[in-house]
Amino acid sequence: MAEFEATFRRVAPVFCMSFLLSGCIAAAVPLMVAGGAAGLGYSGYKLVQTAGGGSVGIHFRMNGDKEAPPEALPPLHAVAVWPGTRREVAFAGKLEQAHRFRVVAPATIFSDLADVKVPEDLNQMTDAERDHAFSIVCQREHVDMVFAARSLGTTSNDNAFSLSRANVTSTADVMGYSCATKQVTWTDELSLIIELGSSTTPSDTELGTISGSAWADRVLLATGENGSGKIAGAKG
């Protein structure tokens, strides 16, 4: 999330310049309008209004112009959450609240990794190194799956001639490593689209809570009704 704030501060003045003739309105532009986030042109998972008056759109992997349903997950009895930021903490917390399965929190996994001198930064690992690190968690915590996220970076759209499109997008790979098959068997892509309609930059804590909560909802949907692995409304 740290790269988001730097990008936000770079593009926010451009957003403000488009208001120069009217005194550079600093108030948030309302985006919670009937029919969805018309200002963002957003048609994804959902829209959340931030404490500073802006908004954050959330979507997962897209299929054309629509959000694809999540891949189904098998029944799970215990899962671990790879350490990261507030996003992972919020994700683990919401999974715990659902009482579907036992959840091993990021802090515990961080301690496990420190014991065996394995780093937690997935962006610095090859796929083989990542899978080996996940397997260590499986062995130590006796879980069925390890959930993790890896940042894909941040992009900005600061078109001064189209105010509704001034935003920053932060994207991450989210994945589930199966301890039974010893490979990543579940993947998705999580994107946050942060509207620049407020002078207050959303904090990393707020963005992490929003994204972690949405990620947990996605996983719970993928586990199906009561954790059966069958997604409601899915064929087959």
Q: At what angle do helices 204-223 and 86-98 cross, to 10 degrees?
A: 40
Mean pLDDT to the nearest integer, 122-151: 97
Domain boundaries, the chain: 2-226
How far is the C-alpha of 194 from the C-alpha of 179, rounded, in Å?
35
The DSSP secondary-structure symbol of 124 reads G
Q: Are 1 and 204 in contact (CB under 8 A)?
A: yes
- What tokens were used for 24? 């550079």
* Confidence (pLDDT) at 186: 98
How far is the C-alpha of 122 from the C-alpha of 119, rounded, in Å?
8
- Determine what percent of the chain falls in helix, strand and coil, rounding each to the nearest 5: 35, 25, 40
- What tokens were used for 151? 């940042």
Domain 2-226 falls under CATH 3.40.50.970: no
Q: What pLDDT, in 10s, does the model give residues 55-100?
A: 889 999 988 888 899 999 999 999 999 999 999 999 999 999 999 9
Could you give the 3-state DSSP secondary structure of residue 231? coil
Q: What pLDDT, in 10s, does the model give residues 5-40?
A: 444 444 444 333 222 223 332 223 233 322 333 344
Q: Are 109 and 83 in contact (CB under 8 A)?
A: yes
pLDDT band for 117, please (50, 70, 90 cuts): very high
pLDDT band for 2, please (50, 70, 90 cuts): low
Q: Which residues pair with 81 in a beta bridge?
A: 147
Smallest Cα–Cα separation from 185: which of 69, 74, 68, 61? 74
Dihedral (C-alpha) 121, 9, 173, 74: value to the nearest 10 degrees? 100
pLDDT band for 45, please (50, 70, 90 cuts): low
| Neighbouring C-alpha atoms within 13 Å toward the C-beta of 139 | 10
How far is the C-alpha of 225 from the C-alpha of 236, rounded, in Å?
14
